[in-house]
Structure 1
Amino acid sequence: MPRITTVLRQSRKAIQDLDLLKVLQSEIRCEQSLNPELDNQSGPTGDFVLDWDSPQSQDVVLRKKYESGEEVAVSALLGPEITCADSNSRRDVLMKICIKKPGLSSILQFDCGYSSEFDVHNAYYIPPSACLHSSVYKGPSFSSLDPQLQDELRNYLVSKGIDQSFGDFLLHRLHNKEQSQYLNWLRKLEAMVAGSESSFDN
Protein backbone atom coordinates (compact mmCIF):
# COMPACT_ATOMS: atom_id res chain seq x y z
CA MET A 1 0.00 0.00 0.00
CA PRO A 2 2.75 2.56 0.83
CA ARG A 3 4.34 1.73 -2.53
CA ILE A 4 1.07 2.47 -4.40
CA THR A 5 0.75 5.80 -2.57
CA THR A 6 4.28 6.73 -3.61
CA VAL A 7 3.52 5.84 -7.24
CA LEU A 8 0.33 7.94 -7.14
CA ARG A 9 2.21 10.91 -5.69
CA GLN A 10 4.88 10.61 -8.39
CA SER A 11 2.18 10.38 -11.08
CA ARG A 12 0.45 13.47 -9.72
CA LYS A 13 3.72 15.40 -9.74
CA ALA A 14 4.40 14.32 -13.34
CA ILE A 15 0.94 15.50 -14.46
CA GLN A 16 1.32 18.81 -12.62
CA ASP A 17 4.84 19.35 -13.99
CA LEU A 18 3.63 18.79 -17.52
CA ASP A 19 0.42 20.78 -16.98
CA LEU A 20 -1.14 18.01 -19.04
CA LEU A 21 -4.70 19.03 -18.24
CA LYS A 22 -4.08 22.61 -19.42
CA VAL A 23 -2.39 21.36 -22.58
CA LEU A 24 -5.37 19.08 -23.35
CA GLN A 25 -7.90 21.84 -22.68
CA SER A 26 -5.95 24.22 -24.92
CA GLU A 27 -5.87 21.63 -27.72
CA ILE A 28 -9.63 21.03 -27.36
CA ARG A 29 -10.37 24.77 -27.58
CA CYS A 30 -8.12 25.05 -30.62
CA GLU A 31 -9.84 22.13 -32.38
CA GLN A 32 -13.29 23.55 -31.60
CA SER A 33 -12.35 26.99 -32.94
CA LEU A 34 -10.85 25.52 -36.13
CA ASN A 35 -13.80 23.19 -36.71
CA PRO A 36 -16.96 24.85 -35.35
CA GLU A 37 -19.24 22.80 -37.62
CA LEU A 38 -18.19 19.32 -36.49
CA ASP A 39 -21.50 18.72 -34.77
CA ASN A 40 -23.52 20.24 -37.61
CA GLN A 41 -22.70 18.19 -40.71
CA SER A 42 -24.87 18.38 -43.78
CA GLY A 43 -26.55 15.33 -45.25
CA PRO A 44 -25.60 13.40 -48.37
CA THR A 45 -25.95 14.97 -51.80
CA GLY A 46 -28.46 13.88 -54.41
CA ASP A 47 -30.61 10.86 -53.65
CA PHE A 48 -27.94 9.10 -51.64
CA VAL A 49 -28.80 7.99 -48.11
CA LEU A 50 -26.18 7.60 -45.40
CA ASP A 51 -26.29 3.87 -44.65
CA TRP A 52 -23.32 3.52 -42.27
CA ASP A 53 -21.31 6.08 -40.28
CA SER A 54 -20.16 4.53 -37.00
CA PRO A 55 -18.12 6.81 -34.67
CA GLN A 56 -15.74 3.87 -34.15
CA SER A 57 -14.95 3.29 -37.84
CA GLN A 58 -13.06 5.28 -40.46
CA ASP A 59 -15.46 4.65 -43.33
CA VAL A 60 -18.92 5.70 -44.42
CA VAL A 61 -21.35 3.87 -46.70
CA LEU A 62 -23.97 5.62 -48.83
CA ARG A 63 -26.70 4.04 -50.94
CA LYS A 64 -29.06 5.10 -53.64
CA LYS A 65 -31.96 2.97 -54.86
CA TYR A 66 -33.87 3.71 -58.04
CA GLU A 67 -37.54 2.93 -58.61
CA SER A 68 -36.42 0.37 -61.17
CA GLY A 69 -34.66 -1.57 -58.39
CA GLU A 70 -31.15 -0.60 -59.48
CA GLU A 71 -28.84 0.10 -56.52
CA VAL A 72 -25.66 2.15 -56.13
CA ALA A 73 -23.57 1.66 -52.99
CA VAL A 74 -20.49 3.73 -52.14
CA SER A 75 -18.01 2.80 -49.40
CA ALA A 76 -15.48 5.57 -48.70
CA LEU A 77 -12.64 6.46 -46.33
CA LEU A 78 -9.69 8.84 -46.23
CA GLY A 79 -6.50 7.52 -47.80
CA PRO A 80 -2.97 7.97 -46.48
CA GLU A 81 -1.33 11.39 -46.46
CA ILE A 82 0.25 12.35 -49.80
CA THR A 83 3.03 14.94 -50.01
CA CYS A 84 2.54 17.19 -53.03
CA ALA A 85 5.19 18.91 -55.19
CA ASP A 86 4.68 22.21 -53.28
CA SER A 87 5.51 20.38 -50.00
CA ASN A 88 1.88 20.60 -48.87
CA SER A 89 0.07 17.38 -48.07
CA ARG A 90 -3.39 16.10 -48.87
CA ARG A 91 -5.56 13.08 -48.22
CA ASP A 92 -7.74 11.70 -50.97
CA VAL A 93 -11.04 9.95 -50.53
CA LEU A 94 -10.73 6.28 -51.49
CA MET A 95 -13.97 4.64 -52.52
CA LYS A 96 -15.52 1.49 -53.87
CA ILE A 97 -18.62 2.09 -55.96
CA CYS A 98 -20.85 -0.94 -56.59
CA ILE A 99 -23.75 -0.84 -59.03
CA LYS A 100 -26.30 -3.66 -59.11
CA LYS A 101 -29.01 -3.97 -61.74
CA PRO A 102 -32.47 -5.27 -60.77
CA GLY A 103 -32.92 -9.01 -61.13
CA LEU A 104 -29.18 -9.63 -61.53
CA SER A 105 -26.66 -10.90 -58.99
CA SER A 106 -23.66 -9.54 -60.85
CA ILE A 107 -22.03 -6.28 -59.76
CA LEU A 108 -20.22 -3.50 -61.60
CA GLN A 109 -17.51 -2.20 -59.25
CA PHE A 110 -15.33 0.91 -59.57
CA ASP A 111 -12.33 1.66 -57.36
CA CYS A 112 -11.81 5.43 -57.29
CA GLY A 113 -9.90 8.22 -55.62
CA TYR A 114 -11.00 11.84 -55.21
CA SER A 115 -9.19 15.03 -54.21
CA SER A 116 -10.44 17.74 -56.56
CA GLU A 117 -11.51 15.40 -59.35
CA PHE A 118 -12.29 11.70 -59.70
CA ASP A 119 -9.56 9.27 -60.60
CA VAL A 120 -10.86 5.82 -61.55
CA HIS A 121 -8.26 3.18 -60.69
CA ASN A 122 -10.17 0.05 -61.69
CA ALA A 123 -13.50 -0.99 -63.17
CA TYR A 124 -14.68 -4.56 -62.73
CA TYR A 125 -17.60 -6.64 -63.87
CA ILE A 126 -18.09 -9.21 -61.14
CA PRO A 127 -20.35 -12.14 -62.15
CA PRO A 128 -22.41 -13.90 -59.45
CA SER A 129 -20.08 -16.92 -59.33
CA ALA A 130 -17.10 -14.64 -58.57
CA CYS A 131 -18.70 -12.52 -55.83
CA LEU A 132 -17.42 -14.74 -53.03
CA HIS A 133 -13.96 -15.33 -54.52
CA SER A 134 -11.54 -12.41 -54.12
CA SER A 135 -8.84 -14.25 -56.10
CA VAL A 136 -10.88 -14.29 -59.34
CA TYR A 137 -9.32 -12.22 -62.15
CA LYS A 138 -11.35 -9.00 -62.46
CA GLY A 139 -9.99 -7.63 -65.71
CA PRO A 140 -7.33 -5.13 -66.83
CA SER A 141 -6.47 -1.90 -65.03
CA PHE A 142 -8.62 1.10 -65.93
CA SER A 143 -5.71 3.04 -67.44
CA SER A 144 -5.08 0.26 -69.97
CA LEU A 145 -8.62 0.47 -71.38
CA ASP A 146 -9.41 2.31 -74.61
CA PRO A 147 -9.53 6.09 -73.81
CA GLN A 148 -13.02 6.40 -75.28
CA LEU A 149 -14.25 3.55 -73.07
CA GLN A 150 -12.65 5.25 -70.05
CA ASP A 151 -14.57 8.45 -70.86
CA GLU A 152 -17.83 6.53 -71.26
CA LEU A 153 -17.35 4.80 -67.90
CA ARG A 154 -16.60 8.13 -66.20
CA ASN A 155 -19.76 9.61 -67.77
CA TYR A 156 -21.69 6.57 -66.56
CA LEU A 157 -20.56 7.29 -62.98
CA VAL A 158 -21.62 10.93 -63.33
CA SER A 159 -25.05 9.77 -64.51
CA LYS A 160 -25.32 7.79 -61.24
CA GLY A 161 -24.60 10.89 -59.14
CA ILE A 162 -20.88 10.26 -58.65
CA ASP A 163 -19.78 13.76 -59.58
CA GLN A 164 -17.65 16.59 -58.16
CA SER A 165 -20.24 17.78 -55.64
CA PHE A 166 -20.58 14.21 -54.34
CA GLY A 167 -16.78 13.91 -54.06
CA ASP A 168 -16.56 17.26 -52.25
CA PHE A 169 -19.27 16.13 -49.83
CA LEU A 170 -17.37 12.91 -49.05
CA LEU A 171 -14.06 14.72 -48.63
CA HIS A 172 -15.64 17.21 -46.22
CA ARG A 173 -17.59 14.55 -44.32
CA LEU A 174 -14.63 12.23 -43.84
CA HIS A 175 -12.29 15.03 -42.71
CA ASN A 176 -14.94 16.13 -40.20
CA LYS A 177 -15.44 12.54 -39.08
CA GLU A 178 -11.73 12.16 -38.39
CA GLN A 179 -11.58 15.51 -36.54
CA SER A 180 -14.63 14.54 -34.45
CA GLN A 181 -12.95 11.29 -33.47
CA TYR A 182 -9.79 13.16 -32.49
CA LEU A 183 -11.80 15.69 -30.46
CA ASN A 184 -13.71 12.90 -28.68
CA TRP A 185 -10.40 11.20 -27.86
CA LEU A 186 -9.04 14.46 -26.41
CA ARG A 187 -12.17 14.89 -24.28
CA LYS A 188 -11.88 11.34 -22.90
CA LEU A 189 -8.22 11.94 -22.11
CA GLU A 190 -9.12 15.26 -20.46
CA ALA A 191 -11.74 13.55 -18.27
CA MET A 192 -9.27 10.81 -17.33
CA VAL A 193 -6.53 13.31 -16.38
CA ALA A 194 -9.00 15.53 -14.50
CA GLY A 195 -10.28 12.44 -12.67
CA SER A 196 -6.71 11.45 -11.77
CA GLU A 197 -6.00 14.95 -10.39
CA SER A 198 -9.20 14.99 -8.30
CA SER A 199 -8.49 11.51 -6.92
CA PHE A 200 -5.04 12.75 -5.85
CA ASP A 201 -6.66 15.68 -4.06
CA ASN A 202 -9.02 13.48 -2.05
Structure 2
Amino acid sequence: MARLIRTARRTFLPSSLSPQTLIQRLQLPSLQIDKPICNSLFQIRNYISDMRKSAFEGNILRILRNEIQYEYEYAPPKQPSTEFDSFAVEDQPGEQWIRLRGKYGEKEEIKIEVTMFDGSIPIPKSSEDGKGEDMQFHISMIVDISKGEGCNVLEFVCSAWPDCLEIQKVFMLRHDGMPPKPYVGPDFKDLDDELQNVLEEFLEARGVNDELAAFLHQYMMNKDKTEYIRWMGKLQSVVEK
Protein backbone atom coordinates (compact mmCIF):
# COMPACT_ATOMS: atom_id res chain seq x y z
CA MET A 1 0.00 0.00 0.00
CA ALA A 2 2.81 2.42 0.87
CA ARG A 3 4.42 1.76 -2.50
CA LEU A 4 1.11 2.52 -4.27
CA ILE A 5 0.76 5.86 -2.46
CA ARG A 6 4.33 6.86 -3.36
CA THR A 7 3.71 5.95 -7.01
CA ALA A 8 0.56 8.07 -7.07
CA ARG A 9 2.41 11.03 -5.61
CA ARG A 10 5.06 10.80 -8.30
CA THR A 11 2.39 10.53 -10.98
CA PHE A 12 0.08 13.38 -9.93
CA LEU A 13 2.39 15.65 -7.89
CA PRO A 14 5.62 16.21 -9.75
CA SER A 15 8.49 16.75 -7.36
CA SER A 16 9.55 19.90 -9.23
CA LEU A 17 6.41 21.82 -8.06
CA SER A 18 6.54 23.54 -4.72
CA PRO A 19 3.42 23.55 -2.56
CA GLN A 20 2.96 27.29 -3.22
CA THR A 21 3.15 26.77 -6.99
CA LEU A 22 0.69 23.91 -6.79
CA ILE A 23 -1.80 26.00 -4.81
CA GLN A 24 -1.54 28.81 -7.36
CA ARG A 25 -2.20 26.39 -10.24
CA LEU A 26 -5.19 24.87 -8.51
CA GLN A 27 -6.81 28.25 -7.82
CA LEU A 28 -9.55 29.41 -10.22
CA PRO A 29 -8.51 32.24 -12.48
CA SER A 30 -9.96 35.64 -11.46
CA LEU A 31 -12.67 37.13 -13.61
CA GLN A 32 -11.32 39.79 -15.91
CA ILE A 33 -13.63 42.57 -17.21
CA ASP A 34 -12.49 44.83 -19.95
CA LYS A 35 -12.22 48.53 -18.99
CA PRO A 36 -14.43 49.68 -21.89
CA ILE A 37 -17.26 47.51 -20.53
CA CYS A 38 -16.80 48.96 -17.01
CA ASN A 39 -16.91 52.49 -18.36
CA SER A 40 -20.08 51.74 -20.33
CA LEU A 41 -21.82 50.33 -17.26
CA PHE A 42 -20.77 53.36 -15.21
CA GLN A 43 -22.11 55.74 -17.85
CA ILE A 44 -25.41 53.87 -18.02
CA ARG A 45 -25.82 54.09 -14.25
CA ASN A 46 -25.08 57.83 -14.30
CA TYR A 47 -27.54 58.33 -17.15
CA ILE A 48 -30.32 56.50 -15.29
CA SER A 49 -29.55 58.46 -12.11
CA ASP A 50 -29.63 61.78 -13.99
CA MET A 51 -32.90 60.83 -15.67
CA ARG A 52 -34.51 59.99 -12.32
CA LYS A 53 -33.25 63.25 -10.77
CA SER A 54 -34.47 65.26 -13.74
CA ALA A 55 -37.92 63.64 -13.60
CA PHE A 56 -38.16 64.22 -9.83
CA GLU A 57 -37.16 67.89 -10.09
CA GLY A 58 -39.46 68.37 -13.07
CA ASN A 59 -42.37 67.07 -11.02
CA ILE A 60 -41.56 69.48 -8.17
CA LEU A 61 -41.39 72.42 -10.58
CA ARG A 62 -44.68 71.43 -12.21
CA ILE A 63 -46.46 71.32 -8.84
CA LEU A 64 -44.94 74.65 -7.74
CA ARG A 65 -45.92 76.42 -10.96
CA ASN A 66 -49.46 75.08 -10.75
CA GLU A 67 -49.79 76.12 -7.12
CA ILE A 68 -48.46 79.64 -7.76
CA GLN A 69 -50.77 80.05 -10.75
CA TYR A 70 -53.72 78.82 -8.70
CA GLU A 71 -53.03 81.31 -5.89
CA TYR A 72 -52.79 84.21 -8.33
CA GLU A 73 -55.94 83.22 -10.24
CA TYR A 74 -58.17 82.10 -7.36
CA ALA A 75 -57.55 84.92 -4.85
CA PRO A 76 -54.52 87.04 -5.73
CA PRO A 77 -52.93 89.03 -2.88
CA LYS A 78 -53.70 92.74 -2.73
CA GLN A 79 -51.33 95.63 -2.42
CA PRO A 80 -50.87 95.94 1.37
CA SER A 81 -52.00 99.07 3.16
CA THR A 82 -49.30 101.43 4.36
CA GLU A 83 -51.45 103.13 7.02
CA PHE A 84 -54.47 102.66 9.22
CA ASP A 85 -56.08 105.67 10.87
CA SER A 86 -53.21 107.52 12.55
CA PHE A 87 -50.74 104.62 12.29
CA ALA A 88 -48.07 104.06 9.64
CA VAL A 89 -47.56 100.38 8.76
CA GLU A 90 -44.01 99.01 8.38
CA ASP A 91 -43.82 95.63 6.66
CA GLN A 92 -40.58 93.94 5.56
CA PRO A 93 -40.96 91.09 3.03
CA GLY A 94 -40.08 87.72 4.51
CA GLU A 95 -40.68 88.76 8.13
CA GLN A 96 -43.39 87.32 10.36
CA TRP A 97 -43.94 90.65 12.11
CA ILE A 98 -45.25 94.03 11.08
CA ARG A 99 -44.89 97.30 12.99
CA LEU A 100 -47.22 100.21 13.37
CA ARG A 101 -46.08 103.61 14.57
CA GLY A 102 -48.16 106.57 15.62
CA LYS A 103 -48.39 109.56 17.93
CA TYR A 104 -50.88 110.76 20.47
CA GLY A 105 -50.83 114.38 21.43
CA GLU A 106 -47.53 116.22 21.34
CA LYS A 107 -45.37 113.85 23.37
CA GLU A 108 -46.63 110.30 23.24
CA GLU A 109 -45.12 107.85 20.77
CA ILE A 110 -46.88 104.56 20.08
CA LYS A 111 -45.16 101.51 18.64
CA ILE A 112 -47.09 98.32 17.96
CA GLU A 113 -45.44 95.04 16.98
CA VAL A 114 -47.79 92.43 15.52
CA THR A 115 -47.24 88.78 14.64
CA MET A 116 -48.74 86.87 11.79
CA PHE A 117 -51.31 84.29 12.92
CA ASP A 118 -49.82 82.40 15.85
CA GLY A 119 -52.77 80.37 17.14
CA SER A 120 -56.41 79.48 16.70
CA ILE A 121 -59.46 78.21 18.55
CA PRO A 122 -62.41 76.17 17.24
CA ILE A 123 -65.81 77.88 17.03
CA PRO A 124 -69.21 76.52 15.95
CA LYS A 125 -69.99 76.94 12.27
CA SER A 126 -72.25 79.80 11.34
CA SER A 127 -74.24 77.66 8.86
CA GLU A 128 -77.93 76.93 9.39
CA ASP A 129 -77.44 73.36 10.57
CA GLY A 130 -74.75 74.50 13.03
CA LYS A 131 -72.80 71.28 12.55
CA GLY A 132 -69.03 71.14 12.56
CA GLU A 133 -66.48 73.78 13.55
CA ASP A 134 -64.63 76.71 12.05
CA MET A 135 -61.32 78.13 13.23
CA GLN A 136 -60.88 81.59 14.70
CA PHE A 137 -57.32 82.84 14.27
CA HIS A 138 -55.29 84.65 16.90
CA ILE A 139 -52.74 87.46 16.56
CA SER A 140 -50.36 88.62 19.30
CA MET A 141 -49.60 92.32 19.78
CA ILE A 142 -47.14 94.32 21.89
CA VAL A 143 -48.09 97.98 22.35
CA ASP A 144 -45.41 100.33 23.70
CA ILE A 145 -46.40 103.85 24.73
CA SER A 146 -43.70 106.33 25.75
CA LYS A 147 -43.48 110.07 26.35
CA GLY A 148 -40.08 110.73 24.95
CA GLU A 149 -36.47 109.77 25.61
CA GLY A 150 -35.63 109.01 29.21
CA CYS A 151 -39.21 108.22 30.20
CA ASN A 152 -40.53 104.85 31.27
CA VAL A 153 -42.50 102.79 28.75
CA LEU A 154 -46.02 101.53 29.35
CA GLU A 155 -46.33 98.19 27.57
CA PHE A 156 -49.49 96.23 26.83
CA VAL A 157 -49.46 92.61 25.68
CA CYS A 158 -52.67 92.04 23.73
CA SER A 159 -54.56 89.41 21.76
CA ALA A 160 -56.23 90.49 18.53
CA TRP A 161 -59.25 88.42 17.50
CA PRO A 162 -61.20 89.07 14.29
CA ASP A 163 -63.77 91.23 16.07
CA CYS A 164 -62.19 92.34 19.34
CA LEU A 165 -59.00 93.28 21.16
CA GLU A 166 -58.12 91.78 24.56
CA ILE A 167 -55.44 92.99 26.99
CA GLN A 168 -53.45 90.17 28.58
CA LYS A 169 -50.72 91.91 30.60
CA VAL A 170 -49.55 95.43 31.46
CA PHE A 171 -45.88 96.19 32.13
CA MET A 172 -43.92 99.22 33.22
CA LEU A 173 -40.50 99.20 31.53
CA ARG A 174 -37.54 101.44 32.20
CA HIS A 175 -36.36 103.36 29.19
CA ASP A 176 -33.09 101.37 29.22
CA GLY A 177 -34.88 98.00 29.41
CA MET A 178 -36.31 95.78 32.11
CA PRO A 179 -34.35 94.93 35.27
CA PRO A 180 -33.21 91.29 35.63
CA LYS A 181 -36.26 90.16 37.64
CA PRO A 182 -38.93 92.84 37.55
CA TYR A 183 -42.29 92.63 39.21
CA VAL A 184 -44.60 92.33 36.20
CA GLY A 185 -47.92 92.66 37.97
CA PRO A 186 -50.97 90.38 37.83
CA ASP A 187 -52.77 89.18 34.74
CA PHE A 188 -55.06 91.82 33.33
CA LYS A 189 -58.19 89.79 34.06
CA ASP A 190 -57.23 89.71 37.77
CA LEU A 191 -57.20 93.49 38.08
CA ASP A 192 -60.06 95.41 39.56
CA ASP A 193 -62.90 95.75 37.04
CA GLU A 194 -62.80 99.56 37.18
CA LEU A 195 -59.05 99.57 36.55
CA GLN A 196 -59.54 97.21 33.60
CA ASN A 197 -62.12 99.57 32.13
CA VAL A 198 -59.95 102.68 32.38
CA LEU A 199 -56.93 100.91 30.85
CA GLU A 200 -59.07 99.70 27.94
CA GLU A 201 -60.33 103.26 27.49
CA PHE A 202 -56.72 104.48 27.63
CA LEU A 203 -55.84 102.28 24.64
CA GLU A 204 -59.04 103.03 22.75
CA ALA A 205 -58.34 106.76 22.94
CA ARG A 206 -55.03 106.06 21.17
CA GLY A 207 -56.61 104.01 18.39
CA VAL A 208 -55.73 100.57 19.80
CA ASN A 209 -59.20 99.07 19.65
CA ASP A 210 -61.49 96.49 18.07
CA GLU A 211 -61.32 98.24 14.68
CA LEU A 212 -57.54 97.88 14.69
CA ALA A 213 -57.89 94.16 15.50
CA ALA A 214 -60.23 93.67 12.52
CA PHE A 215 -57.80 95.57 10.25
CA LEU A 216 -54.87 93.44 11.41
CA HIS A 217 -56.72 90.21 10.62
CA GLN A 218 -57.45 91.38 7.09
CA TYR A 219 -53.88 92.57 6.70
CA MET A 220 -52.40 89.28 7.95
CA MET A 221 -54.68 87.20 5.72
CA ASN A 222 -53.23 89.08 2.77
CA LYS A 223 -49.65 88.90 4.10
CA ASP A 224 -49.96 85.17 4.72
CA LYS A 225 -50.87 84.61 1.06
CA THR A 226 -48.13 86.97 -0.16
CA GLU A 227 -45.45 85.27 1.94
CA TYR A 228 -46.63 81.83 0.83
CA ILE A 229 -46.35 82.76 -2.85
CA ARG A 230 -42.95 84.36 -2.23
CA TRP A 231 -41.75 81.22 -0.42
CA MET A 232 -42.85 78.96 -3.30
CA GLY A 233 -41.09 81.27 -5.78
CA LYS A 234 -37.84 81.00 -3.83
CA LEU A 235 -38.19 77.21 -3.69
CA GLN A 236 -38.79 77.12 -7.43
CA SER A 237 -35.67 79.19 -8.14
CA VAL A 238 -33.52 76.86 -6.00
CA VAL A 239 -34.80 73.71 -7.78
CA GLU A 240 -34.30 75.29 -11.21
CA LYS A 241 -30.61 76.04 -10.60
Scaled by the length of structure 2, the TM-score of the pair is 0.70
Q: Deviation digits for residues 41-100 of structure 1, max 9, x if unmatched? A: 2222111112x4221210011111245121011000024332314332232111000100
Verify the 8 A CA contact 1:28 1:183 in the aligned structure 2.
yes
Q: Percent identity?
A: 23
Corresponding position of 2:200 = 154
Count of residue correspondences: 190
Question: Match for 1:12 among 35, 39, 54?
Answer: 54
Q: Relative contact order, CA 8 A, sep 6+: which one is greater?
A: 1
Question: Match for 2:81 among 42, 51, 55?
Answer: 42
* Deviation of 1:192 (Å): 4.1
Q: Please list every run of 5 or more consecutive structure 2 residues that lacks an aligned counterpart in the other structure.
A: 1-41, 125-132
Aligned mates of 1:157, 1:119 — CA distance in 2: 11
Q: Please list every run of 5 or more consecutive structure 1 residues that lacks an aligned counterpart in the other structure.
A: 197-202
SS of 1:56's partner is coil
Verify the 8 A CA contact 2:123 2:136 in the aligned structure 1.
no
Q: Deviation digits for residues 85-118 of structure 1, max 9, x if unmatched? A: 4332232111000100246520111000111201
Corresponding position of 2:233 = 187
Aligned mates of 1:21, 1:61 — CA distance in 2: 34
Alignment of 1:82 onto 2:120: yes
2:165 aligned partner, one-letter code: F
Aligned mates of 2:73, 2:102 — CA distance in 1: 34
Specify the structure having the higher radius of gyration (Cα): 2
Scaled by the length of structure 1, the TM-score of the pair is 0.82
Change over 3 Å in CA distance of 1:4–1:112 after alignment to 2: farther
Aligned mates of 1:119, 1:146 — CA distance in 2: 16
Within 5 Å, give how 1:163-202 maps onto structure 2: 163-193=209-239, 195=240
Aligned mates of 1:41, 1:154 — CA distance in 2: 28
RMSD: 2.4
Aligned mates of 2:157, 2:69 — CA distance in 1: 38
